[in-house]
Amino acid sequence: MIIEKDKVVTFHYCLYEPDQPVLEDSRDTEPVVYLHGHKTMMPGLEKALEGKATGETVSVTLPPEEAYGPRQEVEPHRIPKKYLLTKGKLKPGQAVQISTKNGPRDATLVKVGRYTVDIDPNHPLAGKTLVFELEVMGIREATEEEIVHGHVHGEGGVSHN
Ligand code: ZN
């Protein structure tokens, strides 16, 4: 089986700036699971994974525009904690998602208060050219329901409970 539209793909990745140490390695946490061909994954990564089989590795370099976007020069701002979509333990410098009237967006946590948080509206990796090293861990057929919903159910996916 190879990666094509309507396959559920599990992969591990590490990423770094060219010639720099590793910034993130999914082996420290969990592999990524996504539904191929439904625009839920970074397009540059989908393109690199297209046609690959389990066990294959691929390395792809993405400019900021294709990764986490260009860095915007804006001051951090303070928002009520309820707009923070990321739950769990919070620490400054981490990537978070916040709720805005235009939908969820990436940001960097600057400071955590009791009722508010200060956020920098840039993803921590914004403005960086990144090398992604990917390893395909598994491929399966998506269920009809997953295809209709446009996302993965079960382990690593969305739960509708
Ligand atoms: Zn669903």
Whole-number mean pLDDT of the chain? Answer: 94
pLDDT at 131: 98
Ligand 1 centroid from CA 74, angstroms: 36
pLDDT at 15: 97
pLDDT at 7: 98
Ligand 1 centroid from CA 151, angstroms: 6
d(CA 107, CA 122): 5
pLDDT at 87: 85
Q: Are 46 and 40 in contact (CB under 8 A)?
A: no
Spans of the chain, pLDDT less than 70? 161
pLDDT at 144: 97
Ligand 1 centroid from CA 158, angstroms: 6
For the chain, the straight-line distance linking the first and the last C-alpha, in angstroms and rounded, comes to 31
Which domains are present in the chain? Answer: 7-69+126-149 (3.10.50.40), 77-120 (2.40.10)
pLDDT at 100: 87
Ligand 1 centroid from CA 43, angstroms: 21
Ligand 1 centroid from CA 141, angstroms: 15
Q: pLDDT for 36-58, tens place per residue?
A: 999 999 999 999 999 999 999 99
DSSP class of residue 131 equals E
For the CA atoms of the chain, what is the radius of gyration? Answer: 17
Ligand 1 centroid from CA 160, angstroms: 6
Ligand 1 centroid from CA 148, angstroms: 8
d(CA 146, CA 152): 6
